[in-house]
Amino acid sequence: VTQIMEHSEQARNRFQSELEFIQCLANPNYLNFLAQRGFLRERPFINYLKYLLYWKEPEYAKFLKYPHCLHMLELLQYEHFRKELVNAQCAKFIDEQQLLHWQHYSRKRTRLQQALAEQQQPQQQPPPHGNAATK
């Protein structure tokens, strides 16, 4: 019985470690670190990255807190991407773009709120033209 229990605990540990590891891939600095140490050139590691694609399935993906990692994982399947990650500037560029993308919705929301606020102000006076606001 203990053997069976160990087996399932082993599997749970493996699940948890793979869950952690795949989410680390969302961090471009970590990717740069991996690239500089040559991990991204090793065949077993490349195979492992392919194996990790199972996290794209909904029943696994629902455990991911940082879904950016899935996109990174997909990109990592390409040799060209793995090679480029050795450059620090590449990683920095990815990091910047990632952050900009991350801020995109907040910015959009802020802009919408500003637009709404501006729209509500002139309603107190009758508008000079008959046309509606062009926002």
Partner 1 sequence: DPNMAAVAEKSTKERLLSVLDDLEVLSRELIEMLALSRSQKLPQPGEDTQILELLVQRDREFQELMEVAQQQGKVHQEMQLLEKEVEKRDSDIQQLQKQLKEAEHILATAVYQAKEKLKSIDKARKGSISSEEIIKYAHRISASNAVCAPLNWVPGDPRRPYPTDLEMRSGMLGHMANLPTNGVNGHLPGDALAAGRLPDVLTPNYHWHSSDVPVGMLPPHHGNDFGLEPPGHNKENEDDVEAMSTDSSSSSSDSD
Q: Does 111 bind partner 1 (CB under 8 A)?
A: no
Residue selected from 105, 124, 128, 135 as contacting partner 1 according to rule CB under 8 A: 105
Torsion angle in degrees (nearest 10) through CA of 26, 87, 77, 103: 30
The pattern of x and - marking residues 8 through 27 that bind partner 1 according to CB under 8 A reads x--xxxxxxxxxxx-xx-xx
Give the distance between the most distant pair of CA atoms in the chain.
Answer: 83
Judge whether 39 and 21 are in contact, CB under 8 Å. Answer: no
* Relative orientation angle of helices 28-36 and 88-120, to the nearest 10 degrees: 170
Q: Using the structure block, give the residue that is written with the tokens 């907040």.
A: 106
Q: Does 76 bind partner 1 (CB under 8 A)?
A: no
Q: How far is the CB of 118 from partner 1 (least distance, A)?
A: 19
In the complex with partner 1, the residue whose CB is nearer, 42 or 127, is 42
Region for 102 from its dihedrals, namely left if φ exceeds 0, alpha if ψ lies in -120 to 50, beta otherwise? alpha
Task: At 126, list the tokens.
Answer: 């009758």
Q: Does 115 bind partner 1 (CB under 8 A)?
A: no
Closest CA to 49 of 25, 84, 15: 25
The pattern of x and - marking residues 35 through 74 that bind partner 1 according to CB under 8 A reads --x-x--x-xx-xx--x--x---xxx-xxxxxxxx-----
Residues within the interface to partner 1 (CB under 8 A): 8, 11-21, 23-24, 26-30, 32-34, 37, 39, 42, 44-45, 47-48, 51, 54, 58-60, 62-69, 88, 91-92, 95-96, 98-100, 102-103, 105-107, 109-110
